Chains A and B, each alone.
Chain A
Amino acid sequence: MADVIITLTLEGVEMATITIDDTLYEVADGANILEAVLSLGLDLPYFCWHPALGSVGSCRQCAVLQFQNEEDERGRIVMGCMTAVSDGMLLSLSNDKAVDFRADVIESLMTNHPHDCPVCAEGGECHLQDMTVMSGHRNRRYDGLKNTHVNQDLGPLINHEMNRCIACYRCTRYYRDYAGGTDLAAMGSHDHVYFGRHEDGTLESEFAGNLVEVCPTGVFTDKALVNDYTRKWDLQSAPSICVGCAVGCNIAPGERYGRLKRIHNRYNHEVNGYFLCDRGRFGGSFVNSDKRLLSAGWKLDDDVFSPLNSEQALAQLQTLCLSGDGLYAIGSPRASLESNWMLRTLVGRDKFCSGFGAEDAALRATVSAIVEGGVHTATLPEVEAADLVIILGEDVTQTAPRLALALRQTVRNVGLEQAATMGVQYWQDTAVRNIAQNTRTPLIELVTASTRLADIASDTVTFAPADIARVGFALAHALGAGPEVDGLSSTDIALVARLQALVDNAERPLIISGCSSHNVSVVAAAQSVAAAVAQKHASTRVVYVAPEANSVGLGLLDPNALSLEEIGAAARNGEIKTLVVLENDLYRRAPKAQVDALLGSVANLVVLDTMEHLTAEAAQLVLPVASYAECEGTLVNNEGRAQRFYPPITASEDRPPAWHWLRSLAGAMKHSSLAELTQIDDVIDAIATDVPLLAGVIDASPKASYRDRVGLKAARQPHRYSGRTAMYANKTLHEPKTQADDDSALAYSMEGESQSLPGALRSFVWDPGWNSNQSLHKFQDEIGGSLKGGSSGARLINATGHPVSGRSDVPDAFERRQGSWCLTPQYRLYGSDEMSAYATPVAEMMTGAQITLSPADVESLALGAEDGVSIVIDELSVDCAVIIDPLLPAGTAGFVVGHPEMLNLRAGSYVALEKKQDFMRVPEVIVTDGVRAHG
């Protein structure tokens, strides 16, 4: 035996020494052989195993030969994924028996697989192709007929091509076991097993899109990509951040011909791991929308915009803004930190409004809780490690979807512990689930309506927002912090006692709240609960959910920025001559009357944005700006993590990043310190110096000066990128000059080695023989661990460790009012977010205006299930379909936040409801058998 020891050192992990093909290795004890082999950088083909889904031993592809001892020359075949490594283990990957076995497996799998690689959307990034080559299956000996299947229409997001299925069972394991979906299943048996729905129809899960990456071949593919196709090797990608919500999932958008073609998950083990939600995956293509602003415009007298070139536009901008004191600005929680900071610095702190909407006060409380609450905000692995979850007022599946997917794993912890006591490893997925059955880690939701976590929650208790806060304060009090709450019902007192007992027995409690109930006291109560729990358990974690990609960043930038109401007052007083609005449609932020009044009192309105919208239409000057897919910038997520996004698409000169416009303006305004900031790194340095809370943004990503070990920038294009000379041949015969990117350490090029890149600069994963995203393990420290180059992003806030209660009084209990209903905000994955609604697939998933009512109120209004109601506010009427929610507190009415027809509704206000005769209900995209929690 050889005496070489190759060590994979992991902190805090027991190591075992094993022999693979006469070489000694040290690997993590208790890992399975496949995991260990892949972690060592060796190749072993597999299908059914997935790092997040564990092992089931279905495909038999990862077989290796195990020897009993040194004398054993025969060995026996064992499945790599199903066998734990142990000290002294003797294995062979290359023994003929193992090689032949694996060749037999792939040959069997391929008997029914079509020869359609050239027309398959998976081709070029197909795990089946890779494993077929790796297993040495070249000549086809099977000459029988192939089984064929009928495909299903699975809705606007996902394409289904069942003939390509190799029956690895990953899809159903992911969809049902991991993501909690119910409408995708393995059906039939033997070699006719079929993976689909019981009938055609849109997949119900909010996380269905991950099937595209989970499926090792081309059964489930991205429908938008299939219909506007580019191979992986021809995509120009960039490390980016999803702008769909404040979780800040890392994404890898891919470009070709100037269009965004698709979004893939970009692994960050602390934020999103292997998975995205469907808003993130399918919503990012809003950048292709025909509502994009193409050029600057100056409004003529007849309300028609006259296009301007950049120079003209800049001249007009300067004219409007060089007027002294009357320059105010409204920033945006969906714009980058750089643009917001530049704008605020330009107009001055006292004239800058953060541009938050109805959630303004709750959001400020949320940011304060994150910064001053003193309790550590959980990373993704910490969320998944919790042993008690208490949610106050947040429907996380709709407001922070990736968090909800993590919570589905959190509740497995009790079962995993049970399995561990039986000596069953956590990765033995079927075994663990058979042992656990329906036992789950406690997860209690105190929310305003039914949620999609009801199936895993031990309790879903619904209240009006004020009552959520009251129960929260009562719990904090019971745990020894904060004021007593008078007048609780006996059931609420029992609930508090139950929660208190759960907290006492927990070791790693997790408290989740946020601003989606638009109610300050809910956030304050959650902060108080977290503070009280943290006094008992040092490992307490929190997650506070904010609504938009940079809500937290903007809150950190200026906690005391003007509110929309304050800037409205300034306008009424005639103090505002010119108002600059950055990437913000004010009509989504406040009722129409309020915005009309604000804009009506402003002499000049300048809007910088990516999209046409009502605010832009009201402007004198509109300046188009680059979207997240065309420029670089920094966003701060729920966790207080600053993350940089980079463009896969080159920005056109007419549509620069917003801060470029503002910098030019700064030059004209003789604001020399701003005007001198030439590169984004300069802006970031300036932000770090200017705003102490944001000092860490510098570390979010390497500077533009970063070069890899051969002195090159990081590549956006894979080494097989083709057609550079042909791509624009319809315009010019000459190969276009490679676009320069002075702002970042990324190049619009194939050049640059990819092995040792920092995670923040990795645009794609690709390794010899591993063309699909399964190659990820080549870039991880260990399976499921951090990226070798370090995960991207920098946490800006370190918890002080001194928990502080929320600053708010106990609110009065909610009281019903006869004949009017208190509006409570509800969020929808498809529709509540502004930008993703411009993406075609997401738009197709959106519903009409909906109001959710309790069964009692539906009865009192004499409404049928098909009826609608009208709500009149400020003389504007909206007709809504009625959703009946058995859990909704009577006297409240849930409205869809952000729905274009419901923007005038305000949380906490009381409205009258009137039955709408002859209401035409918009058909639901997701037609279900009634198993969904909503309705």
Chain B
Amino acid sequence: MIDRPLTQHLRQDGSPVFMTDYRGGGGYEGLRRVLADSSPEDCLQQVKDSRLRGRGGAGFPTGMKWSFVPMGEKAGVGPKYLIANADEMEPGTFKDRIILEQDPHQLIEGMILASYALQANVAYIFLRGEYTVAAERIETAIKECYSAGYLGENIQGSGYSLELHLHRSAGRYICGEETALISALEGKRANPRPKPPFPQVSGLWGRPTIVNNVETLCNITHILTHGAQWYQSLGIGQDSGTKLFGASGNVNNPGCWELPMGTPIREILEQHAGGMREGYTLRGFLPGGGSTDFLTPDHLDLAMDYDVIGKAGSRMGTGTMIILDDRHCPIAMVRNLSHFFAQESCGFCTPCRDGIPWIVQLLDRFESGQATEADLALLEEKARFIGGMGNTHCALAPGAMEPVTSALKYFRDDFERHIHDGRCHYHSDVGGR
């Protein structure tokens, strides 16, 4: 039995796996068997039993999400939709890209199976605009699928039909938010939508819609092929399955690796990422992308499980870590991230649109040595205001404030030293920003 299902087909040279090789490695075998032997209800039950949680960052149980989709006559007239969220724009995150570029059929097979389970007849891959290499390869793979009869009318003689479209995003971080993604796909401004109605009931074009992350959908094939029990057994902690973990920053071997859920952070950083580069000491890290709270070396022995990281005061997010070392200014780092989130605000609600730019200005004052104690208090107040869950229309702003508030918690002495010294003490060390 395989223990690294997501990356099993990947090649050392990073060249893409297309239809012949994918099928050679057992690809679409699961699809053929499921369509022949399993009902949509069976599939849903398997996914529920697998305890798969969404890999896009929030970790919501996939089976539960699917179970809200009306089935049969309850779905009313018109198509249901499945959307693969391939708008991978989280800072520091490059996990989906590896599959999208190197193993597009893995995603497509997962999408066909998920669509079958949901009885959706139209599916979209919503791809980050900058992923041009992936776009070409996905197009090729989709064409291969239509030729091979895995997409289109009456797939493999099962009577089930599915149309799959690739949509290349015009490029906004907010499109990763599932309702904003739907708005963008409809050709509207990419503003997140109020809920209810939840997309499962009324999403794209007002019809039942499931939006799942690329990695989540890739897992579907393996769960339905090898069973929920097997999938659960892959995890070594509380959560089941494997996960694409990653690390970036001043480590010896930045990259992305498929590891069991529950792998300790220390193992990821020290074994797979090769530890800190010489001359750099670990100061802290964002465990799951740019919109998660800092953790510190004290947390290295935690398991990468959704709830474990959550209890430690952060989020596992995308599972791709950004490393802060002792020679870079934490304020500059959060300033950089805040600037990104300010730029990527859709501009719909006030705290996010007008609040995050203020955060950036305040952080700039620290970096330029002009900040006062009052600025520190104001920064904390505004971060609380912007970051409070429910204070804003969607989760962008709370996510944006996670590195800020956690930096204020763990690196407060840095903020105070900036005020006291009237300058940034890191910049002179490393020769400026």
Known contacts being A141-B378, A434-B202, is A60 close to B358, with CB within 8 Å?
A: no
Could you say which residues of chain A place their CB within 8 Å of the CB of B196?
Answer: 422-424, 431
Q: Does B346 contact A (CB under 8 A)?
A: yes
Q: Does A563 contact B (CB under 8 A)?
A: no
Known contacts being A111-B358, A144-B358, is A60 close to B342, with CB within 8 Å?
A: no
In Å, the complex CA distance between A58 and B191 comes to: 10
Q: Which chain B residue lies CB-closest to A192?
A: B347
Q: Does B201 contact A (CB under 8 A)?
A: yes
Does the CB pair B197–A434 fall under 8 Å? yes
Interface 1/0s, chain B 344-367, versus A by CB < 8 A? 111111110111011001000000
Could you say which residues of chain B place their CB within 8 Å of the CB of A437?
Answer: 205-206
In Å, the complex CA distance between A124 and B382 comes to: 30
Does the CB pair B353–A191 fall under 8 Å? yes
Known contacts being A76-B390, A190-B345, A435-B206, is A60 close to B351, with CB within 8 Å?
A: yes
Does the CB pair B353–A104 fall under 8 Å? no
Does the CB pair B345–A189 fall under 8 Å? yes
Q: Which chain B residue lies CB-closest to A104?
A: B385
In Å, the complex CA distance between A144 and B378 comes to: 14
Interface 1/0s, chain A 31-72, versus B by CB < 8 A? 000000000000000000000000011111101000000000
Does the CB pair B342–A190 fall under 8 Å? yes
Q: Does A502 contact B (CB under 8 A)?
A: no
Q: Does A925 contact B (CB under 8 A)?
A: no
Q: Does B393 contact A (CB under 8 A)?
A: yes
The one of B343, B392, B393 in contact with A190, judged by C-beta atoms closer than 8 angstroms, is B343
Known contacts being A189-B172, A422-B197, is A59 close to B350, with CB within 8 Å?
A: yes
In Å, the complex CA distance between A61 and B393 comes to: 12
Q: Does A728 contact B (CB under 8 A)?
A: no
Does the CB pair B197–A191 fall under 8 Å? no
Does the CB pair A430–B202 fall under 8 Å? no
The one of B193, B347, B391 in contact with A60, judged by C-beta atoms closer than 8 angstroms, is B391
Q: Does B33 contact A (CB under 8 A)?
A: no
Q: Does A662 contact B (CB under 8 A)?
A: no
Does the CB pair A60–B349 fall under 8 Å? yes
Does the CB pair A109–B193 fall under 8 Å? no
In Å, the complex CA distance between A418 and B78 comes to: 14
Q: Which chain B residue lies CB-closest to A113?
A: B354
Does the CB pair B202–A77 fall under 8 Å? no
Could you say which residues of chain A place their CB within 8 Å of the CB of B358?
Answer: 108, 111, 142, 144
Q: Does B299 contact A (CB under 8 A)?
A: no
Known contacts being A111-B354, A141-B378, is A422 close to B201, with CB within 8 Å?
A: yes
The one of A108, A186, A189 in contact with B354, judged by C-beta atoms closer than 8 angstroms, is A108
Q: Which chain B residue lies CB-closest to A147?
A: B357
Residues 92 to 135 of chain A near chain B (Cβ within 8 Å)? 101, 104-105, 108-109, 111-112
Q: Does A911 contact B (CB under 8 A)?
A: no
In Å, the complex CA distance between A789 and B205 comes to: 44
In Å, the complex CA distance between A423 and B347 comes to: 28
Does the CB pair A105–B351 fall under 8 Å? yes
Does the CB pair B194–A431 fall under 8 Å? yes
Q: Does B30 contact A (CB under 8 A)?
A: no
Instruction: Tell me, rounded to whole Å, the shortest Cβ–Cβ distance linking B332 to chain A.
Output: 18
Does the CB pair B347–A191 fall under 8 Å? yes
Q: Does B189 contact A (CB under 8 A)?
A: yes
Could you say which residues of chain A place their CB within 8 Å of the CB of B193?
Answer: 430-431, 434
Residues 315 to 345 of chain B near chain A (Cβ within 8 Å)? 342-345
Q: Which chain A residue lies CB-closest to B172?
A: A189
Interface 1/0s, chain A 153-172, versus B by CB < 8 A? 00000000000000101000
Does the CB pair A435–B197 fall under 8 Å? yes
In Å, the complex CA distance between A191 and B338 comes to: 14
Q: Does B388 contact A (CB under 8 A)?
A: yes
Instruction: Tell me, rounded to whole Å, the shortest Cβ–Cβ distance linking A194 to chain B.
Output: 9
Could you say which residues of chain B place their CB within 8 Å of the CB of A167?
Answer: 347, 350, 353-354
In Å, the complex CA distance between A517 and B252 comes to: 82
Could you say which residues of chain A place their CB within 8 Å of the CB of B351?
Answer: 60, 104-105, 108
Does the CB pair B347–A190 fall under 8 Å? yes
Give the interface size bracket for B toward A: 35 or more
Does the CB pair A435–B350 fall under 8 Å? no
Q: Which chain B residue lies CB-closest to A97?
A: B388
Known contacts being A77-B390, A189-B172, is A104 close to B382, with CB within 8 Å?
A: yes
Instruction: Tell me, rounded to whole Å, the shortest Cβ–Cβ distance linking B265 to chain A.
Output: 32
Does the CB pair A434–B349 fall under 8 Å? no
The one of A105, A431, A434 in contact with B350, judged by C-beta atoms closer than 8 angstroms, is A105
Q: Does A428 contact B (CB under 8 A)?
A: yes
The one of A56, A77, A82, A189 in contact with B391, judged by C-beta atoms closer than 8 angstroms, is A77
Known contacts being A109-B354, A190-B353, A193-B353, is A82 close to B194, with CB within 8 Å?
A: yes
Q: Does A78 contact B (CB under 8 A)?
A: yes
Instruction: Tell me, rounded to whole Å, the shortest Cβ–Cβ distance linking B3 to chain A.
Output: 43
In Å, the complex CA distance between A59 and B354 comes to: 11
Between A76, A188, A190, A191, the greatest number of chain B beta carbons within 10 A of the residue's beta carbon is seen for: A190
Known contacts being A60-B392, A434-B197, A436-B206, is A189 close to B347, with CB within 8 Å?
A: yes
Q: Which chain B residue lies CB-closest to A145?
A: B361
Instruction: Tell me, rounded to whole Å, the shortest Cβ–Cβ distance linking A707 to chain B.
Output: 46
Interface 1/0s, chain A 72-89, versus B by CB < 8 A? 000011100010000000
Could you say which residues of chain B place their CB within 8 Å of the CB of A77?
Answer: 388, 390-391
Could you say which residues of chain A place their CB within 8 Å of the CB of B391?
Answer: 60, 63, 77, 101
Q: Which chain A residue lies CB-closest to B206?
A: A437
Q: Which chain B residue lies CB-closest to A60?
A: B350
In Å, the complex CA distance between A76 and B342 comes to: 25
Instruction: Tell me, rounded to whole Å, the shortest Cβ–Cβ distance linking B342 to chain A.
Output: 6
Could you say which residues of chain A place their CB within 8 Å of the CB of B342?
Answer: 190-191
In Å, the complex CA distance between A142 and B385 comes to: 15
Could you say which residues of chain B place their CB within 8 Å of the CB of A436?
Answer: 206
Instruction: Tell me, rounded to whole Å, the shortest Cβ–Cβ distance linking A572 to chain B.
Output: 65
Could you say which residues of chain A place their CB within 8 Å of the CB of B348?
Answer: 58, 169
Does the CB pair B197–A424 fall under 8 Å? yes
Instruction: Tell me, rounded to whole Å, the shortest Cβ–Cβ distance linking A176 to chain B.
Output: 11
Instruction: Tell me, rounded to whole Å, the shortest Cβ–Cβ distance linking A851 to chain B.
Output: 37
Instruction: Tell me, rounded to whole Å, the shortest Cβ–Cβ distance linking B222 to chain A.
Output: 34
Instruction: Tell me, rounded to whole Å, the shortest Cβ–Cβ distance linking B348 to chain A.
Output: 5
Instruction: Tell me, rounded to whole Å, the shortest Cβ–Cβ distance linking A535 to chain B.
Output: 32
In Å, the complex CA distance between A77 and B357 comes to: 23
Instruction: Tell me, rounded to whole Å, the shortest Cβ–Cβ distance linking A814 to chain B.
Output: 40
In Å, the complex CA distance between A435 and B201 comes to: 9
Q: Which chain B residue lies CB-closest to A419?
A: B197
Could you say which residues of chain A place their CB within 8 Å of the CB of B388?
Answer: 77
Could you say which residues of chain B place their CB within 8 Å of the CB of A57?
Answer: 194, 349, 393
Does the CB pair B197–A431 fall under 8 Å? yes
Instruction: Tell me, rounded to whole Å, the shortest Cβ–Cβ distance linking A57 to chain B.
Output: 6
In Å, the complex CA distance between A104 and B359 comes to: 13
Does the CB pair A56–B354 fall under 8 Å? no
Q: Which chain B residue lies CB-closest to A61?
A: B350
Does the CB pair A190–B189 fall under 8 Å? no
Does the CB pair A58–B393 fall under 8 Å? yes
In Å, the complex CA distance between A166 and B127 comes to: 32
Instruction: Tell me, rounded to whole Å, the shortest Cβ–Cβ distance linking A431 to chain B.
Output: 5
Instruction: Tell me, rounded to whole Å, the shortest Cβ–Cβ distance linking B174 to chain A.
Output: 8
Residues 354 to 409 of chain B near chain A (Cβ within 8 Å)? 354-355, 357-358, 361, 378, 381-382, 385, 388, 390-393
Instruction: Taking A60-B391, A77-B391, A82-B194 as given, write out 6 further A-B residue pairs in contact, using a Cβ cutoff of 8 Å, ordered by the A residue number.
Output: A59-B349, A111-B358, A167-B354, A424-B196, A434-B197, A435-B202
6 contacts between A and B (CB under 8 A): A104-B382, A104-B385, A105-B350, A188-B347, A189-B345, A419-B197
For the complex of A and B, list the 10 residue pairs with the smallest distance between their C-beta atoms, beginning with the closest.
A193-B347, A108-B354, A437-B206, A190-B345, A104-B385, A144-B361, A189-B347, A435-B202, A190-B347, A60-B350
Q: Residues of B at under 8 Å CB distance from A?
A: 172, 189, 193-197, 201-202, 205-206, 342-351, 353-355, 357-358, 361, 378, 381-382, 385, 388, 390-393
